[in-house]
Amino acid sequence: MPEDDICQGGLLTKLLSFGEMNMSTRDENFEPDFQNDMQDSDLLENDEPAKEVFQTETQSMKKVIRDQLQSDIEAFLQRGGTVQNIEDNVRADPPRKPDLQYGSGPI
Q: Which long-range contacts (CB under 8 A, 24 or more apart) does 7-13 make?
A: 10/68, 10/72, 10/75, 11/65, 11/68, 11/69, 11/72
| pLDDT tens per residue across span 14-24 | 555 555 544 54
As a whole number, mean pLDDT of residues 43-55 equals: 66
| pLDDT tens per residue across span 60-91 | 899 999 999 999 999 999 999 998 898 888 88
Q: What is the pTM of this model?
A: 0.36
CB 18 within 8 A of CB 100: no
CA distances from 47 to 3, 44, 52 (A): 41, 5, 9
Give whichever of 21-25, 30-34, 83-87, 99-103 has the largest mean pLDDT.
83-87
Of residues 77, 74, 83, 68, the one with CA closest to residue 12 = 68
